[in-house]
Amino acid sequence: MGTLATLLSLTVAFGAQGPVDARPDFQVRDLIVATSDKKVVDQLWPAFKLSMSVGDLKKLLPSDRFVIRTWGSQGVVALDRRLGVIAEIQQGVDVAKALAKFGGSGLAARIGDLSDGDRSAICDYLNGVAPTETRQDGFDLKDGAVGLDAQVSVTLKDPVSGKVVQIGLPQNNDATRHRNELLAKMPIPLRTIPPGEADRFTKQGMERSVAVGDVEFHVFGLGRRTLPEGLRVAADLIAEVEKDLNSKRARAAHDLVKLLGLDDSLPSTANSVNDLPKSLRDELTASLTENWRAWGLGSPQEAESLLANSNSIGVTTWLGICQCQDPGNPAMHKPGSFRSDLFIAFQGGSLP
């Protein structure tokens, strides 16, 4: 037996004999396990036996965590659902489903009032984007609240200067104000973080982002002799699982679009600002001409020129989680501080 750890770019599609669902009595001689969890590999090494049945293999690699498929006469691929790229999509599905239940609560809810499953999905996501060490000492995340956030991003390009400007347009302003009022009553406060420590958190976040795309393959039994075919089957299985999860995420995102009352008919591209729906065109014009400095423009005239001349326009809808980090002090005219982490993006107004 030997082991092989390698990286596979998941954007590459391979042609291969399609994997099939594993039969319990199928005897395993060629096993490839796709996982980044060293503990799984360490536990599997002494327990794996040549020609063991798939039924026995599933006792070692339970189906609630692993997708197990067979190929050929004795080949098996086991895909860990906790692999970064798979887990990331699944997290998007779980978070979207949790947020879809916020409709009757002003698009916001106290984390501690959520069901166990929804609370776990929300907390796991928040801990991923902002480590617990960044929060105020002793703060229990269950006492904070989160809300549903959405914005439409429009990208404009001046054909003469080549300048590109991306404008974010918050949606449902009345509902957003009410949501922020609820969030301000249950903030998730931050502690003061020294610059060096902040750099460490940033580096850790970048490392997690890079690791998401990595896949390690571990080979057991006689897998080396059929390795090329096994890797093709594994790549097909990963693509299949990704496709299924992306479909679930699309359906969950569609429910959020309906809940927010967003325009699901927005175009993904346009050749002119005049080709955009009137409501979006008016929002875009007002934001660009009134806040031209914020968008990096030199004058109101430059904003008007960009609107008039842009002939390559992109439209993206973003959905995410919003939290209040500082409620502010209205009596002292101190505004509150809110953070949005956008976790689903799609071109136009709806996912395909």
Per-residue pLDDT band for 6 (boundaries 50, 70, 90) equals very low
How far apart (Å, rounded) are the C-alpha atoms in residues 147 and 320?
8
In this predicted structure, the answer to whether residue 217 has a pLDDT above a threshold of 50 is yes
Tokens of 350: 């709806």
| Residue 304: predicted pLDDT | 92
Residue 26 corresponds to which amino acid? F
Residue 244 has pLDDT above 90, yes or no: yes
Q: How far is CA 32 from CA 9, 47, 216, 224, 312, in A?
A: 17, 15, 10, 9, 46
Q: List pLDDT tens digits, range 110-157.
A: 999 999 999 999 998 888 887 666 777 778 899 999 999 888 999 999
- Non-local (6+) Cβ contacts of 80 within 8 A are 33, 34, 35, 36, 37, 40, 65, 66, 86
pLDDT of residue 118: 94
Take residue 115 and report the two structure tokens written for it: 């069901």
For residue 189, the model assigns a pLDDT of: 87
How far apart, in whole angstroms, are the C-alpha atoms of residue 313 and residue 165? 10
Backbone Cα Rg of the chain: 24
* DSSP-derived 3-state class of residue 221: strand
Q: Which long-range contacts (CB under 8 A, 24 or more apart) does 37-45 make?
A: 37/80, 37/82, 40/80, 41/3, 41/218, 44/218, 44/220, 45/1, 45/220
d(CA 316, CA 153): 5
